[in-house]
Chain A
Amino acid sequence: MSIAIVGGSAVSPAGLGWRGMMDRQPNRATLLAVTHPAAGGFEVPAIPAEHDAGDAKSRRLMSRSARFAAIAARDALREAGWSDRTDVGYWLGVGASGGPLSEIVTMLQISIDEGAVSLAKLGAEGLLASNPLHTFQVLNNFTMCHGAILEGTGGPNGALFSRGAGTVHALGEAIHAIESGDCDRALAGGADTALHPVTWAELVRDGFAERGLVPSEGAGVLALARVGTAVPLAIIEHASVGDAHGAIDDADLVVIAPWGEPARGRLRDLAGSRTVLDLTAIHGEALAATPALAWLAAVDQITAGRSQRATILSLGPDGELGVVVLRRAA
C-alpha cells in the first residue's frame, strides 16, 4: 500500500485547520450544560460565517456533524487543489447522533391532549408544527451527503457507521478504490459529535463517562491520491482494524486516540518507549471523528519535520483497534 495524502482539513475544538491543531487550546463545551451539566468536554468554537458550510438555508438542513463534515470536505478539496470533482470518491465514518431534539419536542408538545400524547392530535396538528426536513438530519448518510452535494464530489462513496473502527474502514475503502482504479482521487475521514443529549445519555448508561470518556466533536478529512500524481503531505503505508503487529516497530512517533483511561493504558503499552502524542487527552473523544483527527495530528508532526514515520492507534467505544501508518514523503 502506498497512497499519498495531498490535502487535509480538521474541524476540532481547537478551531479550523490541522496545522498546529495539538498546540491550540480546545474550546470548552457548553452544549450539554442544560441536560447534563456535569458532562464537561470540548466543542467546536463558533465558526465565522465566511468559513462556515454552504449558506444559511442549507445549514438549516444540516446536523452539527454534517456541517463539520461539509467544512472539512471543502477545505481538504481546496488544499488538494482539486477543482474538477466529478470522479472524486468520498468515504466517511459517521455517527448516529442525529439532528436536534427540538423538532421532535415541538411536534410532541403540540400533540399533548389531557396530559398524554394523542396520536390523533399528533397526526392532525403535531406533524404540521415540525420541520419535515428533520428526517434528513437524522439519516446518518446525510453527514456525508451535504458536503458531497455542496462540493460536487460524484465518485464512489460510502457512509460507514463508526464508533471508531468504522472511520478506519472508511479510509481502507478509499485506499482500495484508488488502488483498484475505481477512482483516482478520494476523500476519507470521519465526522461526529458526542455532545448530543441522546448520545451522551447512552455513553453514560454504558459506563464510558464513568471510566473517563470526555465528550467532544469535530471532523477530519484527508484528500488521497496515487503516489506520484501530486506533491504529498505524507504517505499512507498501512491502514487496518484489529492488529498493530509490526506496525509500530519503525515508528518514531505514536499518535494515540483512546476513548478513555482503560483504552489509554492499552495504547500506551503498545507504543512502548516511543514518543507518544495523545489526541483525546487534549481534545476529548469525538467518536467517528477521532481517528481522522488523529491522522491529521500525525500529518502535522510529519510536515513540521518532527517525525519521519508515525503510527496512529485509535481505540473508540466500539473496542476495535485502528492502525494507520504514515511516513514522510521522499
Chain B
Amino acid sequence: MTRRVWVVGVGAVTPLGATWVDSVAALAAGEIAIGPVTRFDVTGFPSTVAATIEPVGAGDRRLLLARTAAAEAWTQAAIDVPAARIGIFVGAEAGRPDFATVVAVSRAGGNVAALAPLAARIGRGATSPGAVASMLAAMTGAHGPVETSSLACASSAAAIAEAGRCIRSGECDVALAGGVGADVDQLMLASFGLLGALSARGVSCPFDVQRDGFVLGEGAAFVVLAREPRGAIAELAGIGRTMDAYRLTAPEPEGAGAARAMQSALADAGLDAVDYVQTHGTSTPLNDAAEAHALHRVFGRALDRARVASVKGAIGHAIAGAGALGFLCAVEAVARGTLLPTAGLAHPDPLCALPHVVGTAAYASAASALVNSFAFGGANVSLAVRSM
C-alpha cells in the first residue's frame, strides 16, 4: 500500500513578511508588495518594478532566504527521526556572482591573467543550484536523499513532488522541500524585460483584462513532509507532472498539457473536484488564458464550487520559489479555511472567467485544494492537498 504524505511544517519569507505567519496576514488583507526597484539603478530598463525583500543581509540571497524559510518550517515540524531518514528537496536555479564581477569577467575576455583572480571573486557555490540543498542538509543534519530541481518556474513544485514521491516509496520518512527565487538583479530584469515577459505597466494583475506581463518577485517557501501524521496540518494527496512540448516561451493555447497535469494530480488524490485552486496565474496574457481554459476543461461545472486565486498579484513571480509559495497558499486554505485572494485583479478578463477571490481573503471550509506551477519551457506540475 502506498504510504501517505503529511504536511507537518510550513515556512516562508516573502516581500510581505519575514515569516509565513506574517505573510498570510498581509496577503489576506489584500496588501501588494510591488514597487520601484531601488537596489540598483534601473534607468532605461524595460521594467523598473519588482517585489523585493529588504533587507536580506550580505551574501548569496538564495541561501539567506532559503535558510530563514526552511528554519521556520523545520522548527514548526519538531522532527525527531534518524538523520538517514531525512531528505532535502530544493527547487533552485543558478545564482550569479555580483554584477561587478560579471562585468569584470566579461571585459576580461580572453585575458587569462585577468580571469584567474576574477574566478576567485565568484563565491563558492554562488553559481550552483545545488548550494541551497547542501546548506539545508547541513542545517538540519539530514543524511537522506538530496535533490535539486532546476525546472524554472516549476522548480519548487517539482521539488515538493519529488519529496512526496520519496516518502511514498519509503526512501525517506521526512522531507524538507521547497524552493527559493532571488532573481531581482540587473541581468534577469533586463533579459525578461527584453523578452516582453515583464509588465510594461509595472502591475501584476493575474486574470485581469489589463494584464500585460509578470512582475519579478523574490522569496522562499518550504514545507516539512512526513510519513507520520503527528502534528499534520494537511495532506499532500496528489501529484501530476506533464510537458507541453509546444514552445519555449508560450503555453499550449488550449492548456492541454496543464490540464493533463491537473487531471493526473486529481486522479492521484482520488478527487474530481476541489474547493480552492491556487493558480500559476502569472499575469501574462497567454498563460492566464491558457490556464483558465484548462481549469474549465478539467473541472467543468464543478469549478463553480471552487474559489480561484493567484498569489502573484501581491508578491510577483518568484520563479524557482513560486511553486512552493503557491503550495503554502493551498495548505492555508485546507488547514485554516483562509482562501487567499488575487491582489490587483479589478477587471476580470472574460477569457479568464473563473470564481475569483478578489480584494481580501475569503473564509470558508475547504476540504481540498489544487496548486498549479507551469514553467518556461513547458513543464507543468500540479499538486493536490487535502484537509485533515
Contact = CB atoms under 8 A, between A and B. Distances in A.
- B is bound to A: yes
Interface string B92-126: 11100000001101110110100110111010100
A180 B45 CA distance: 48
B94 A35 contact: no
A108 B106 contact: yes
Contacts of B241: 155-158, 182
B187 interface: yes
B243 A153 contact: yes
Interface string A107-141: 11100100001011111100110101111101111
A249 interface: no
B243 A157 contact: yes
Contact of B149 (A134, A135, A155, A161): A161
Contact of B376 (A101, A139, A152, A241): A139
B194 interface: yes
A204 interface: yes
A161 B130 contact: yes
Interface stretch (A90-98, A213-221, A300-308): A90-98
Given A159-B149, A159-B151, A119 B42 contact: yes
Contacts of B106: 101, 104-105, 108-109
A169 interface: yes
A141 B241 CA distance: 14
A264 interface: no
B68 to A, nearest CB: 22
Nearest to B127: A96
Contacts of B138: none
B194 A127 contact: yes
Nearest to B41: A119
Contacts of B264: 156, 182
Contacts of A35: 110, 112, 115
Contact of B248 (A34, A149, A201): A149
Contacts of B25: none
B34 interface: no
Contacts of B105: 101, 198
A5 interface: no
A241 B243 CA distance: 26
Given A132-B194, A139-B93, A154-B260, A149 B42 contact: no
A146 interface: yes
Given A119-B40, A149-B246, A157 B186 contact: no
Given A155-B242, A158-B162, A123 B44 contact: yes
B214 to A, nearest CB: 13
A123 B349 CA distance: 32
Contacts of A108: 102-103, 106-107
Contact of B245 (A117, A127, A149): A149
A202 interface: yes
A124 B44 contact: yes
B376 A173 contact: no
B190 A122 contact: yes
Contact of A160 (B43, B124, B150, B377): B150
Residue among A104, A120, A145, A151 with max Cβ neighbours from chain B (10 Å): A145
B147 A169 contact: yes
Contact of A169 (B112, B145, B195): B145
B158 A145 contact: no
B129 A161 contact: yes
Given A141-B379, A149-B378, A166 B43 contact: no
B247 interface: yes
A37 interface: yes
Contacts of B378: 145, 148-149
Contacts of A318: 130
Given A133-B195, A135-B195, A176-B165, A96 B243 contact: no
A5 B18 CA distance: 48
Interface size class of A (residues with CB under 8 A): 35 or more
Contact of A140 (B118, B150, B187): B150
Contacts of A135: 188, 191-192, 195
Contacts of B107: 105, 108-109, 112
Contacts of A85: 245
A328 to B, nearest CB: 27
A84 interface: no
A127 B46 contact: yes
A173 B165 contact: yes
Contacts of B42: 119, 123
B273 to A, nearest CB: 22
B122 A205 contact: yes
A127 B257 CA distance: 33
Contacts of B190: 107, 122-123, 127
B147 to A, nearest CB: 5
Contacts of B33: none
B375 interface: yes
A117 B105 CA distance: 13
A90 B242 CA distance: 10
B94 A140 contact: yes
B152 interface: yes
Contact of A206 (B124, B152, B248, B377): B124
Contact of B169 (A128, A140, A159, A176): A176
A185 interface: no
16 contacts: A104-B106, A105-B106, A120-B43, A127-B46, A139-B150, A146-B248, A149-B377, A155-B242, A156-B241, A156-B242, A158-B158, A173-B165, A197-B115, A201-B119, A202-B127, A205-B120
Given A160-B150, A161-B130, A176-B169, 12 more contacts: A90-B243, A105-B107, A133-B248, A139-B150, A139-B377, A149-B248, A149-B377, A153-B243, A157-B379, A173-B165, A198-B105, A198-B127
Interface of A: 34-37, 61, 85, 90, 94, 96, 98, 101, 104-105, 107-109, 112, 117, 119-124, 127-128, 130, 132-136, 138-142, 144-146, 148-149, 151-161, 163, 165-166, 169, 173, 176, 180, 182, 197-198, 201-202, 204-206, 241, 318, 320
4 closest A-B pairs by CB:
A123-B44, A145-B377, A132-B194, A201-B119
